[in-house]
Amino acid sequence: MPALHELQRQVMDALLQRGDAGAATALLRPTPGLDAARRLQLYRNNLFESLTAALAAVYPVVQELVGEDFFRAMARRFIPRFPSRSGNLHDFGAELPDFLRGFGPAAGLPYLPDVAALEWAAHAVYHEAPVPALTLAQLAALPAEAQAALRLQLQPCARLLASGWPVLDLWQAHQGGAVVMESIDLHGGVRLLVAQRALEVEFQRLDAGEYRWLRALEDGEPLTEACARALEADAGFDLATVLARHLALENFRALDRGDPP
């Protein structure tokens, strides 16, 4: 008798149509009027239907852009490659933006992967809880040399996103007519901080220096290095103004006692 993990692998491969389903079929007990192969097909259909519905719930704008039939066909290709591997269904679907970048049938909509990235960012931050935020008083209490070396961290319910396409406008065009699709200039890009506050998802537009600064901080750079990166992108970058804005928006985690100075 194969080990339990081997039996589970055989059944999952059969459900996802990876390889020969014969071994898994042999594990199923036939019932009157329903043979093992038919039972396996019912399980397979339930799996694909439930995961396709989960994808559509996370990526409704992607589905509207391509149509329901295309989306379902795409999901049939995506699910066997990236099946759910978590007990939390909210974790399923993170790979779709990268999958779409290599999905030939979607090549006619080159902005589609970045729209998917925006939808995943919104989904991810919505399901993250904020932690206590960094305040100006906490920052001011540090000596100047400690401030310069500080490595600020974004809230867990915040994600940075940059695209050469106007993905926020494309997303808004599918939110009850806030933007007319035909009026969108597809030549314009966008830089965003996607953040959740009080169970509402906000999209904060960023300029080049501000985005580069936040990206450097997210990559673990100290404040002085992050400022240098920002000035490379925008010579007019004003640290005081940008820092005050993000402190007011509570976009940074509070400092822990164990944080390096």
Phi and psi based region of residue 213 (left: phi greater than 0; alpha: psi -120 to 50; beta: remaining)? alpha
pTM for this one? 0.86
DSSP-derived secondary structure letter, 56: H
Q: Are 153 and 182 in contact (CB under 8 A)?
A: no
Strand partners, 197: 200
User: pLDDT tens digits, residue range 196-235?
Assistant: 999 999 999 999 999 999 999 999 999 999 999 999 999 9
The CATH number of domain 129-261 is 2.40.160:
no
How far, in Å, CA of 191 to CA of 10, rounded?
Answer: 44
- 240 falls in which pLDDT band (50, 70, 90)? very high
CB 134 within 8 A of CB 255: yes
Give residue limits of the domains in the chain. Answer: 129-261
Give the residue, 127 or 46, on which the prediction is more confident. 127
* Separation between Cα atoms, residue 52 and residue 45, nearest integer Å: 10
Average of per-residue pLDDT values in the chain: 88
Q: Identify the band that residue 183 occupies on the pLDDT scale cut at 50, 70 and 90.
A: confident
- For the chain, the distance separating the N- and C-terminal CA atoms, rounded to the nearest angstrom, is 58
